Amino acid sequence: MAALVAALVFGGASGAATYWRVSVAGSASAEGRALTPTPPGDVSASCSTTTKAAVTLTWSAIPDASTYTIYESKTGGAYTAVASTSATTWTSGTLKKRSTYSFEVATTIGATWLSAPSTPTTALDIHGKHCT
Amino acid sequence: MAILAGTLAAGGAAFAASNWIVGLNSGSNGQGKSAAVSNLTITAVSSPSPANLLYPKGTGDVVVKITNPNSFPVTITKLKLPKTTAFAAGYTTSSLGSTKTGCGASKTGSDVSWHYATSTTGTAHTLTTPLVVNATGKTGDPLSVTLTSDAVMGTTASATCEGIYFKMPSFTGVTATAGGTSPTTSPATDGWTS
């Protein structure tokens, strides 16, 4: 608890306001809280309409996000970071044929505050030069 | 105008109540009045929850509870801040019981300080709306106040500070007057913008 020591400086004529100058003894503080970065909750993956054998991800913006990190899993393997963007859409390069890909997206706040990854997207298959 | 000089009668240890007995200075016209004033207290609290949370390069809300032990209302118009290098400490819970490792009161820890603080200690910042803390025991005392966007987090804040609580560095003073016709309703929202 904090104590404020009041030093009465002057009072006016009868009936006038009395003014204080107040200094602090001890800790007169306030409480705040930091946010916890959250991943996008609506990441969707679809076959790219502009690049063959590629995938486009879209998601809704997260307030105060600086960038988003995209993680890729090929044919059930571990997710690894493959790109970073400040936009809310991202298109892969040409993916390896006869493979299945799914993705996750994480939010970065500032330079280093990284969220957990999003829920993985539905897996998409790459057949030859096509995506389904 | 009557000039009253404040004289500290009994200053207790930190946090103890201290009464001030006021006498007349030379030159006063005898119309002044004596007064015994007890301390206000300001406490860091977590309720109501701040709407704006801190993040690197962002501002956030902080919450205080102001208690007036006097039998008359008090109107607070300004708060005085420590210098900008005074940082908040991070805590793991809203009760501020345990500090958070890696998120200490430093630039490389929390990097949280008062918004608009300067390199000088004690700069006064005018509240958008004066706060009238009602007389002790009456509605509006204690007064919970959310200070909107008056804490700021720098770019070097440690990632260990994610989602945790902060105890801001102490105010260095307030400017207040005795009295006030319309006590502020608790909880209130206020702050300074420069």
Cβ contact (<8 Å) for A17 and B178? yes
What amino acid is encoded at B44 in this protein? A
d(CA A2, CA A5): 10
- At residue A51, the pLDDT reads 77
- At residue B177, the pLDDT reads 83
Question: Between B193 and A1, whose confidence is greater?
Answer: B193
Residue of A127, A57, A130 lying closest to A87 (CA atoms): A57
Q: What band does B11 get if pLDDT is binned at 50, 70 and 90? A: very low
Residues of A in contact with B17 (CB under 8 A): 3
Helix/strand/coil for B144: strand
Question: Between A5 and B169, whose confidence is greater?
Answer: B169
Q: What is the pLDDT of residues A42-94, one digit of tens each?
A: 999 998 877 788 999 999 999 989 999 999 999 999 999 999 999 999 999 98
Question: Between B184 and B29, whose confidence is greater?
Answer: B184
Tell me how many degrees the CA angle B72-B39-B25 measures, rounded to the nearest 5: 80
Cβ contact (<8 Å) for B163 and A111? no
d(CA B26, CA B170): 35
Q: What is the mean pLDDT of chain B?
A: 81
d(CA B4, CA B35): 10
Which residue is it, tokens 């993040």?
A: B55
Helix/strand/coil for B161: helix
Length of chain A as a residue count: 132
Q: What is the pLDDT of residues B167-194, one digit of tens each?
A: 999 998 888 888 888 999 999 999 999 9
User: Cβ of B57 under 8 Å from any chain A Cβ?
Assistant: yes
- At residue B1, the pLDDT reads 34
- At residue A12, the pLDDT reads 37
Q: What band does B27 get if pLDDT is binned at 50, 70 and 90? A: very low
Q: Are A34 and B94 in contact (CB under 8 A)?
A: no
Cβ neighbours of residue A65 closer than 8 Å, sequence gap 6 or more: A37, A86, A107, A108, A109
Run of H or E including A1: none
Q: To the nearest whole percent, how much of chain B has pLDDT over 90?
A: 65
Cβ contact (<8 Å) for A26 and B170? yes
Q: Which of A20, A64, A114 sits opposite B55 (nearest CB)?
A: A64
Minimal CA separation from A54 to chain B, in Å = 34
Nearest CA in chain B to A23: B173
User: Cβ of B26 under 8 Å from any chain A Cβ?
Assistant: no
Q: What band does B24 get if pLDDT is binned at 50, 70 and 90? A: very low
Minimal CA separation from A106 to chain B, in Å = 15
Mutate to test the interface with B, among A5, A18, A33, A108 (most CBs of B within 10 A): A33
Q: What is the pLDDT of residues A97-107, one digit of tens each?
A: 889 999 999 99
d(CA B45, CA A107): 29
User: Cβ of B33 under 8 Å from any chain A Cβ?
Assistant: yes
Minimal CA separation from A43 to chain B, in Å = 23
Minimal CA separation from B138 to chain A, in Å = 20
Q: To the nearest whole percent, how much of chain B has pLDDT over 70?
A: 80
User: Cβ of B31 under 8 Å from any chain A Cβ?
Assistant: yes
pTM above threshold 0.90? no
What amino acid is encoded at B106 in this protein? S
Cβ contact (<8 Å) for B20 and A7? yes
Instruction: Pick the most confident of A17-21, B1-5, B159-163.
Output: B159-163
Preceding omega of B142 cis (within 30 degrees of 0): yes
First-last CA distance in chain B: 32
A105: exposed, middle or buried (C-beta count within 10 Å: 0-12, 13-18, 19+)?
buried
Q: List the structure tokens of B188.
A: 């209130």
Mutate to test the interface with B, among A21, A22, A23, A113 (most CBs of B within 10 A): A22
Q: What is the pLDDT of residues B101-152, one digit of tens each?
A: 999 999 999 999 999 999 999 999 999 999 999 999 999 999 999 999 999 9
- At residue B180, the pLDDT reads 85
What amino acid is encoded at A95 in this protein? L
Helix/strand/coil for A62: coil
Q: To the nearest whole percent, how much of chain A has pLDDT over 90?
A: 58
Nearest CA in chain B to A116: B162
